[in-house]
Every structure is written in C-alpha cells, then in structure tokens.
C-alpha cells in the first residue's frame, strides 16, 4: 500500500512550537522506514490550516480519491486540518475506506477504529485556533489601550522588533512632514504631493509605463491616506476606535488640521472653478442671502464686460447687477476706511513689544486654564466610557464623541506647549496685522482682484453684502476698532485712540492665546 507524506508549517503563532518543515521531513521519513511504509509522494505546504482552501492539501486529497495512495503519514492530525471542513473530509475518507491508515509520530488511525477520538482531536485543533484568534484580538486591543499601535507602522515610522513599539524613521519622517507642509500652503494638488514623495524616494511598485528604477509615484488616494492619517500627530485608529499613542508625533495637530481644511476646500474645487471671475464668493445678496455670481456680456462693439448679480436660487430677487469696474471702486474705498496710519502702527508696535516683556505671567495663567480644560476633557472621556460600558449609548455615538473629545484635547495640549515655549506667541501675528493694516492703501490701489479679495475676506470674513449696486459689510475685530477709532480720532486724544485699537488686537481668545 502506498502512502502520501504530508508536512505543513505556517508562520502563525499557532505553529510556534511545531517542528520546522525540514525537521518534520527527517522525522517522518525515518518513521516510514521503521514501519516499512512505501511513500509514493511528499507534499510540503507553508500555509495556515485554519481556513479551507489549501492548494497542496486539496491536490493530495484529489489524488487519494483517484486511488494513488491509501494512507497518509504526518506529524500530527492538526497538520492535516484545523478547520471543520478539512477535518470532516479526512474523517469521512477514513470511514468509507478511501483512506485506510493515517500514521503520526505517536499513534495510528485505521478505518475500523472508533471515530470519536479523531473527531475530538480535530475539534480540539479547531477550538485552539478559535481561542487563539480571540486571545490575540484581546491582546491587540489592550496594546492599543496602552498607546502602542498593534500593526504595521505607517510611512515615516518603523516597527521596532526589539521593544515591540513604533519608532520614528529619521529619514522618511522629514519627507512626510515636508509633504504636509507643502499641501498646507494650498498651492499643490494630491498629484503634486505624490510627485514630491516620489522625487524623495517614496514610491510603489512600477507598471510598465514607469521605468525609473522599477518604481512609480503613489496614487492620488494613497497620498490622501497619508495626509488624513491622525497617527502623524499622535492619535491612531484601531478596530474603529481612536486611541492616544505613545509614539513620537511627526507633525503638530495644528498643521494636520490646516491640511484637513485644505482637503475640504479642494474637495469643492470643481464647483469653485465654475465661477468665472475673481470676486465670486466674496459677497452675498443683502435681500435674499444668495451668493453673488458673475457673467460676461459682450456688446455690439465687441467689447466684453463683467457683471455681478444675485444667483436668485431662492426665488425672485429685485437686486440689480453691477459692473465689475464700479464694484472694484467701491471695494477700494472700503479698504481705505481701515488704513492704519504709519505713525499709529509704529506706536502700537512699541506698545506690543513692551507688553510682550510681561507676557510670561499671562501665559502662566493661560496654561493653568488650559490644564484645567484638559482635566475636564479627561473627565468627559471617562464618563463617556462609563456610559458605553453601561450600554446607555450606542457604539457609533460613543466612538464619534470620543474622537471629538480627543481631538479637542490634543489641540489644547499643543497650545500649552506653544505657550510654554513662547509666552509672547501673540506678538508675531499682531505685528503681521499691523503691517497689513498700514499697507491697505497699496491693496486699495492695486488692480490685482484676487489679492484684493483675500484682503477683504480678512477684514469682513463672510459679512460683505451687495445692496442696490453698493457693497456693504460689518468688519471683524480689530478692523472694526480701527474704523471706529479713525472716525473719532479728532474727538479724543491719540493715546486713547491707540489704546482702544491695541486692546481690540490684544484680546485673548477662548483658549488663552492672544491674537
């Protein structure tokens, strides 16, 4: 009678204590010689048996059905099967005589034997795999709760096999950070980010059309996955839940949030491209609240003019159109209202410099406020977890609220670090504002409409409206204070005027960081 010799070893944890392929072959060949078993063929498989569908095992069973052999030699029964499908097939072949003898290193199985013992062994092998899967998943979740990502490290990081943690890849992490900074400038597409990564050695396997060293740039979706991965600022998602990682962040949360805003903005890029003129998106209709759009009309003389009008998407609207030249003149006049005289700007700059010298005390108080806010957020996360454990809220709601709280906590933590490193963090933005405010006359005289639009959005936000061919708007602080101070400058002394402007620009925001 001929026998098939079958050996198997997978890389799974389940096979950690099992002999290697070479060791199994040596032992089983010696076993066959000792028992005078004729080996017709040897089958070697390197695959887990937890799921049906092993090609080499299936080929062996097909040849057994054809009658090429009547017996099997293997190290143990669990080498043949760890799932009920394959185990049932072997049991059935042994019962109906297709297989008459299975020989392992410690016992023999025959067709006339009681099938109970074989069923128990196959059942134990299957249950072992199932328990192992559950225990492994539980261990990975615990690892995630401890702040260690239980998976393949993303680009820019490395899996440290010695400490079982995630370490920063010193070379690639700098490239990833530069990619975030590049996209945050809102001047690049996802394809540009892929090209940037490719030029710095980050690529995927090539197709025939890419011949540069057998590599090609990442796809657009792959670049987007990198730019939306919270792992880079210190949080990671595992099994649908967000965790706070112990790994070193590559980028700041502020940079990550800026990139997300650019992604959201560029997601609407196709819609924005339909607006033919530079001032579209700046104003709204004062009568119905719809957007102001532009259209080009060509006169009989052949000369074209741009007109701005209400889109009338909410119904009839009585507001008339306005020519671009007239609208440009009005917007320039609006900008001139907020011009900060150079002497005022210089004096405000000196006040800011003096105030910055005493900012450390203010920063300390702000840090205390933000640390209290972090403690409050930790309490909210803990209470939210208790609600989920008690099954008072659904899992989806729990995960959504937890992600929101953790994101807010990370932002506050970064603001604390920013204040601790630089107590006068507000100083540079204020100086930049003083520079912008003192150069508004140049912006007003400029013919660069996109630049003028950007300046107007800084002053008015989304508060500009068009009524009866006239642009109107309520400015935001501190621009509102500049306009008010300019109007009453002749009625009050200069010091009071400057103090009112300075206080408006120096007002702290809700997180304790000043303007």
Q: What is the pLDDT of residues 206-256, one digit of tens each?
A: 555 545 556 788 888 999 999 999 999 989 888 778 888 889 999 999 999
Q: Look up the CATH number of domain 2-136.
A: 3.40.50.1390
Nearest-angstrom CA–CA distance, 339 and 442? 10
What pLDDT does residue 239 have? 77
Place of tokens 């002999």: 19
CATH fold for domain 157-272: Hect, E3 ligase catalytic domain fold (3.90.1750)
What tens-digit pLDDT sequence spans the chain (515 residues)? 899 999 998 865 555 556 788 989 999 999 999 999 999 999 999 988 888 999 999 999 999 999 999 999 998 888 888 888 988 899 889 888 899 999 998 888 888 776 667 777 877 777 766 666 666 667 677 877 888 888 888 999 998 888 888 899 999 999 999 999 999 998 888 999 999 999 998 888 655 554 555 678 888 899 999 999 999 998 988 877 888 888 999 999 999 999 999 998 877 644 444 445 788 888 999 999 999 998 888 887 878 889 999 989 888 899 999 999 999 999 998 888 888 887 787 888 888 777 776 666 777 778 888 889 999 999 998 888 888 888 888 888 888 888 889 889 888 888 888 777 665 556 677 777 888 888 888 888 888 888 888 888 888 888 899 999 899 888 887 788 777 777 665 555 666 777 777 677 665 443 333 33
Q: Where are the domains of the chain?
A: 2-136, 157-272
Contact 278, 308 (CB under 8 A): no
Contact 73, 32 (CB under 8 A): yes
Nearest-angstrom CA–CA distance, 55 and 390? 47
Handedness of CA 387, 390, 394, 396 (dihedral sign): positive
Residue 289 gets the label, from left (phi > 0), alpha (psi -120 to 50) or beta, of: left
What pLDDT does residue 512 have? 38
Distances in Å between the Cα of 495 and the Cα atoms of 435, 457, 490, 498, 513 are 20, 29, 12, 5, 25
Q: Is 380 exposed, middle or buried (0-12, 13-18, 19+ CB in 10 A)?
A: middle
Helix-strand-coil percent breakdown of the chain, rounded to 5?
Answer: 55, 15, 35
Task: Give the length of the chain.
Answer: 515
Tokens in use for 51?
């799921």
Distances in Å between the Cα of 226 and the Cα atoms of 13, 183, 194, 221 are 31, 11, 10, 9
Q: Model pTM?
A: 0.43
User: Are 2-136 and 157-272 the same fold in CATH?
Assistant: no
Nearest-angstrom CA–CA distance, 47 and 9? 6
Q: Is 452 exposed, middle or buried (0-12, 13-18, 19+ CB in 10 A)?
A: buried
């Amino acid at each position: 009678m001929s026998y098939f010799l079958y050996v198997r070893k997978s890389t799974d944890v389940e096979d950690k204590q099992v002999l290697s392929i070479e060791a199994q072959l040596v032992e089983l060949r010696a076993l066959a010689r000792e028992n005078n078993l004729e080996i017709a063929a040897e089958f070697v498989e390197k695959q887990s048996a937890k799921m049906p569908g092993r090609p080499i095992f299936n080929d062996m069973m097909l040849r057994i059905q054809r009658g090429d052999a009547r017996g099997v030699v293997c190290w143990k029964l669990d080498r043949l099967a760890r799932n009920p499908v394959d185990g049932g097939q072997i049991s059935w072949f042994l019962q109906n005589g297709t297989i008459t003898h299975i020989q392992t290193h410690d016992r023999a199985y025959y067709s006339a034997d009681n099938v109970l013992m074989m069923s128990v062994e196959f059942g134990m092998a299957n249950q072992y795999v199932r328990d192992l899967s559950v225990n492994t998943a539980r261990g990975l979740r615990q690892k995630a709760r401890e702040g260690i990502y239980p998976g393949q490290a993303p680009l820019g990081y490395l899996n440290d096999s010695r400490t079982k943690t995630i370490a920063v890849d010193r070379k690639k992490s700098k490239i990833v950070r530069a990619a975030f900074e590049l996209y945050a400038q809102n001047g690049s597409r996802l394809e540009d980010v892929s090209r940037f990564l490719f030029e710095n050695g980050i690529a995927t396997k090539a197709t025939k059309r890419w011949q540069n060293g057998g590599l090609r740039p990442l796809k657009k979706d792959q670049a987007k996955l990198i730019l939306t991965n919270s792992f880079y600022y210190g949080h990671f998602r595992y099994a649908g839940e967000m965790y706070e990682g112990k790994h070193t962040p590559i980028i700041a949360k502020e940079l990550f949030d800026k990139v997300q805003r650019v992604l959201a903005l560029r997601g609407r890029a196709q819609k924005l491209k339909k607006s033919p003129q530079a001032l579209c998106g700046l104003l709204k209709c004062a009568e119905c609240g719809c957007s102001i759009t532009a259209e080009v009309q060509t006169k009989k003389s052949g000369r074209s003019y741009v007109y701005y009008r209400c889109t009338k998407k909410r119904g009839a609207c009585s507001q008339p159109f306005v020519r671009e030249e007239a609208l440009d003149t009005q917007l320039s006049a609006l900008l001139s209202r907020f011009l900060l005289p150079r002497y005022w700007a210089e004096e405000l700059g000196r006040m800011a410099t003096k105030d910055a010298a005493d900012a450390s005390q203010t920063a300390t108080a702000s840090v205390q406020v933000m640390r209290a806010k972090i403690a409050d957020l930790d309490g909210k996360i803990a209470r939210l977890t208790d609600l989920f454990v008690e099954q008072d809220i659904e899992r989806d709601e729990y995960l959504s609220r937890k992600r929101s709280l953790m994101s807010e906590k990370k932002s506050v933590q970064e603001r604390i670090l920013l204040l601790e490193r630089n107590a006068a963090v507000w100083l540079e933005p204020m100086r930049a504002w003083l520079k912008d405010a003192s150069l508004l006359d140049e912006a007003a005289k400029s013919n660069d409409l996109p630049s003028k639009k950007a300046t107007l959005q800084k002053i008015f936000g989304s508060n500009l409206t068009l009524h009866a061919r006239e642009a109107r708007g309520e400015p935001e602080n501190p621009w509102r204070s500049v306009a008010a101070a300019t109007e009453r400058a002749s009625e009050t002394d200069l010091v009071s005027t400057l103090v009112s402007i300075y206080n408006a620009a120096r007002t702290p925001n809700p997180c304790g960081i000043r303007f």
